[in-house]
A = this chain, B = another copy of it.
Amino acid sequence: MSSTRDIDKLIEMMARLPGLGPRSARRAVLQMIRKRGQLLAPLADQMAKVAASARECLNCGNIGTEDVCDICLSEKRATGEICVVQDVSDLWAMERGGAFSGRYHVLGGTLSALDDIGPEDIRIPQLVARINNEGVTEVILALNATVDGQTTAHYIADQLEGRVRITSLAQGVPIGGELDYLDDGTISAALKARRSI
């Protein structure tokens, strides 16, 4: 069926996105085609716009549309606090909670001897450099309560010991839990009840 090849290809591409399989990709594409004027064409435009402009913040690793992200540029966010997270999705989860007013440092992963991921692979040297550059007084380790997350937290705490206050999210983060799956209220509560390591 040569003339439907473009539609089949779109379904295949959609099916590769996380959370979508072949069936939901077919349903989504059919829905988009039915509303191609209001839905498919604007979505294509928006994707092209984001594909052309999205990039990682050179300072913190957050995703934005400029070399340095809004949060790093905002003087209001220069509170002396840096919240260290594993992924941008965790940063988004923190921002939805709305309880944190400082800046972030996105590692993009965790230390892992098994996968040969060392400190320089997850932007730890950049974090250490930011402590002086930005007059940081507190580093909040908001890493997942997994083995790799906690190993990484301990490593960072060792590196920064004696230079800044180091805290971690405490109350409310379940054992083995991932930040992005928590409700916003839980994240706020965990932030407020943070403790020194």
Contact = CB atoms under 8 A, between A and B. Distances in A.
A83 to B, nearest CB: 16
Contacts of A18: 24, 27-28, 31
A27 B90 CA distance: 11
- Determine the interface band of chain A, counting residues with CB < 8 A from chain B: 35 or more
Interface in A62-116: 63-66, 69-71, 87-89, 92
Q: Is the interface of A mostly helix, strand, loop or mixed?
A: helix
Contacts of A70: 1-4
A19 B16 contact: no
A71 B2 CA distance: 10
A19 B17 CA distance: 12
A6 B70 CA distance: 13
Nearest to A66: B3
Given A7-B54, A50-B6, A17 B36 contact: no
Max chain B C-beta neighbours (<10 A), residue from A16, A44, A66, A69: A44
A70 B64 CA distance: 43
Contact of A24 (B7, B19, B48, B92): B19
Would you list the 8 A-B pairs with minimal beta carbon distance, nearest first? A19-B24, A44-B47, A44-B48, A40-B51, A41-B51, A17-B28, A1-B70, A3-B65
